[in-house]
Amino acid sequence: MFAAKKELDLTTSHASLVIGLFEKPEKFTGELAGLDERFEGQLTELVRSGDLSAKLKNITKVHSFGKIGAKRLYFVGLGKEKELSFDKLRSSFGKVFKQLKASKLEETAVYLDTFVTEEISSLDAAHALSEAMALATYQFDGYKQKSNEPEKRLEKVTVYCASLVEEDVKASLSVGYAFGRGTNSARTLVNTPGNLLTATDMANYATDLAVKYDFDLEILEKAEIEKLGMGAFLAVNKGSEEPPKMIVLKYQGKEEWTDVIGLVGKGITFDTGGYSIKTKAGIVGMKTDMGGAAAVLGAMEIIGEIRPEQNVVAVIPSTDNMISGGAFKPDDVITSMNGKTIEVLNTDAEGRLVLADAVTYAKHHGANYLVDVATLTGGVITALGLHTTGAMTNHDGLYKQVLDSAVEAGEQMWQLPLFETEKERVRNSKVADLNNSPGSEGHALVAGAFIGEFTEGTPWVHLDIAGTATTSKDHDLGPAGATGVMTRTLALFVERFEPIEI
């Protein structure tokens, strides 16, 4: 996929050569001066006339007319050098890779030195390049009948970088590509229809990951789930013909099983809402209600590739939420794994129920820190829109580490409050310890507060991705559909985690 070379040879044949271009100076220098000479100064004239713009994310294609080995040049506008961030660079790479894909090119070269600044090293630029390539060229093939003619895809990228050892560049390219591929795996899971991705299918997917990356694997079947008393998880499954699966993956990157990070992902493969049934419009798209599980599985793929010196347990409660004569109902009282009883007031508030038992089970496996990810509430969309993940926490230090990772991943996040008022609302039941839905006011807050009741003091961050798990529009780093949001954030968080005092 990637090749790295130190010296840029303009006579080498390539389908295209990608070059970064900063605003001012207008005169080409260094290797680009030699390039401009081959074009008899015409590139400089194109810059001066404005036909070759360095405006951020402006892409200009210039045919070489045989003056160099590459058939075409793609100039990527990077704006002012001092204002270029890693996130802007990644998006810029994404935009040009989308154009290369649209042109059906099977290989390209990138002159990496032209994308480097005082703040962005060559290794950072290599990571941004490969991550963007994977993300921007992703597509979900779907299930339409396909042509017999194979589709052309970008298969090879040669990176020229004079300032680094080739093996270092390759390593950074590999890591960036692993982050992109893990996110794409999450996207594919979310895009897959519920009839083709049952809890059993998800368990099989996790099994394949365990085999590939040598993770410890545990998959609890219904009888074992019953034996452990996971009444909240089982209640959601009662209406289904598909058996539930509690999926556990363990990665041990340290000698001792200490400072364990627990990643918990909601794995509802389809959500009807149960007897609190969704509207005919609201029920469409509920195949995506396992976006949290997909993010966790995608992050585990990345972790398997980069092998950080951390300990991680991933826990995914997977089932669908269906309607039948045996389904759970409003007014039911159920008992969770940790013994707390729950009055069910809304069967469409099922995500917090399965997460309750999953959080408890993550603690059972020694999790010292918890991060749960879920397409949990429409309330978070009302509060924060479609581009920002809502977060809640009981530990500011842990939250800061997650937030820092989200910033680097380019995934927007905003902290919502966890006040005693919301805790009291979920504790307000005349017949049980908790109720699962005290009302629509502050819906995202009470949902998070409910999950927090099962952390029992363990440092915890809750991420509500109901608005960010999918998008209706194409963007620089991918198409419309599933985004794979929080996959890279979780992987970065694990990779750079620093243990905190509890």
Question: Taking the CA atoms of the chain, what radius of gyration do you get in angstroms?
Answer: 25
Q: Is 76 inside any structural domain? A: yes
Helices 487-496, 396-409: axis angle to 10 degrees equals 120
Helices (H), 13-73: 31-38, 42-49
Which CATH number covers residue 352?
3.40.630.10
Q: Tell which residue, 220, 392, 223, 206, has the closest CA to residue 314.
A: 206
Strand-pair category, 333-335 with 434-435: unpaired
- Number of independent structural domains in the chain: 2
258, 134: one domain? no
Last residue of a domain, one of 134, 163, 192: 163
> Long-range contacts of range 498-501, CB-CB < 8 Å, 24 or more positions apart?
498/401, 499/259, 499/368, 500/369, 500/395, 500/397, 500/398, 500/401, 500/459, 501/397
Q: Is the peptide bond before 25 cis (omega within 30 degrees of 0)?
A: yes
pLDDT of residue 467: 98
Catalytic residue among 88, 352, 363, 488: 352
CATH number at residue 100: 3.40.220.10
Q: Can you give the pLDDT of all 502 residues of the chain as single tens digits? A: 898 898 888 999 999 999 999 998 667 877 788 899 999 999 999 988 889 999 999 999 999 999 999 999 999 999 999 999 999 999 999 999 999 999 999 999 999 999 999 999 999 999 999 999 999 999 998 998 877 777 788 999 999 998 778 889 999 999 999 999 999 999 999 999 999 999 999 999 999 999 999 999 999 999 999 999 999 999 999 999 999 999 999 999 999 999 999 999 999 999 999 999 999 999 999 999 999 999 999 999 999 999 999 999 999 999 999 999 999 999 999 999 999 999 999 999 999 999 999 999 999 999 999 999 999 999 999 999 999 999 999 999 999 999 999 999 999 999 999 999 999 999 999 999 999 999 999 999 999 999 999 999 999 999 999 999 999 999 999 999 999 999 999 999 999 999 998 7
Report CA-CA distances (Å) from 240 to 31, 289, 393, 443: 64, 16, 32, 26
pLDDT tens, position by position, 269-315 = 999 999 999 999 999 999 999 999 999 999 999 999 999 999 999 99
What pLDDT is stored for residue 225 in this prediction?
A: 98
Catalytic choice (101, 278, 329, 400): 278
Tell me if 319 sits within 8 A of 327, measured CB to CB.
no
> Whole-model pTM?
0.97
Does the annotation count 340 as an active-site position?
no
Residues 109 and 188 in one domain: no
Query: Which alpha helices (H) appear in 281-419, and where do they start and end?
Result: 291-306, 351-364, 379-384, 396-409
Do 82 and 129 lie in one domain? The reply is: yes
- Picking from 394, 358, 360, the residue whose alpha carbon sits closest to that of residue 374 is 358
Residues 151, 188 within the same domain: no
Residue spans of alpha helices (H) in 65-153 = 86-102, 122-136
Instruction: Give residue for tokens 């405006």.
Output: 55
pLDDT at residue 42 in the model: 92
**What is the per-residue pLDDT for 429?**
98
Is the domain of 136 the same as that of 198? no
Residues 125 and 269 in one domain: no
DSSP 14: B
* 376 and 468 Cβ atoms separated by less than 8 Å: no
Asked if residue 447 belongs to a domain, the reply is yes
457 and 399: one domain? yes
- Determine the pLDDT at residue 198: 98
* Same domain flag for 202 and 343: yes
Structural domain boundaries enclosing 42: 2-163
Give catalytic status of residue 144 as yes or no: no
Helix (H) or strand (E) segment spanning residue 188: helix 166-191
| Beta partners for residue 158, in sequence order | 3, 109
